[in-house]
Chains A and B, each alone.
Chain A
Amino acid sequence: KQEVTQIPAALSVPEGENLVLNCSFTDSAIYNLQWFRQDPGKGLTSLLLIQSSQREQTSGRLNASLDKSSGRSTLYIAASQPGDSATYLCAVRVSGNQFYFGTGTSLTVIP
């Protein structure tokens, strides 16, 4: 069974720092990997989607990479801002259109 892990569970950085969030999965048979942002009490907002054949995707200050063979993905956030404070979750899509989620990394950016 697929298991998705996110480390660290929480991260606190000063404004302006670049940071990396990690996501690992146990089974490399995935169709894609998606990174989400979740603000307290709200739904998940899609940030980036990486297909299994891709190595990375970029959107603004965000860059996500995927190494399917090693079961790892990273989300790089450049020049962090207080508005980036949220929980970031990753999810993998597998056969049967099933999704497996990590438990998230709670990010706090200190002004």
Chain B
Amino acid sequence: EAGVAQSPRYKIIEKRQSVAFWCNPISGHATLYWYQQILGQGPKLLIQFQNNGVVDDSQLPKDRFSAERLKGVDSTLKIQPAKLEDSAVYLCASLDRRGTGELFFGEGSRLTVL
């Protein structure tokens, strides 16, 4: 079974530039999450999707971050314009909601904003 796929693995941009991250969850997983993880901290939820609908985006900085999951499968997270404090690892996860309830993560996308 293929895992959660994310790209790119690494991205370096200047502040005020834009960046997009892509995630393809495990097949059949309807619930998808984007987390931001700053070094030394636990993952912080940015947005939770159920199929193509948003369940929770209360911690998403909507003035600069956006995310979509148009067909209820893969998802894109965009940052525009980026700030220095956006430097972090962006993690995508999908939930085996109807099975064991286990959460699976991708390898993450490490963003450095200069």
A residues near B (Cβ < 8 Å) are 4, 31-32, 34, 36, 41-46, 49, 51, 89, 91, 93, 96-99, 101-104
Q: How far is the CB of A47 from chain B (nearest CB, A)?
A: 11
Interface majority SS (helix, strand, loop, mixed), chain A: strand
B residues near A (Cβ < 8 Å) are 4, 6, 31, 33, 40-43, 45, 48, 50, 55-56, 89, 91, 93, 95, 97, 100-108, 110
19 A-B contact pairs sorted by A residue (CB < 8 Å): A4-B42, A36-B105, A42-B108, A43-B4, A43-B6, A43-B91, A44-B93, A46-B103, A49-B101, A49-B102, A93-B101, A96-B55, A97-B31, A97-B48, A97-B50, A97-B55, A99-B33, A103-B41, A103-B42
Interface majority SS (helix, strand, loop, mixed), chain B: strand
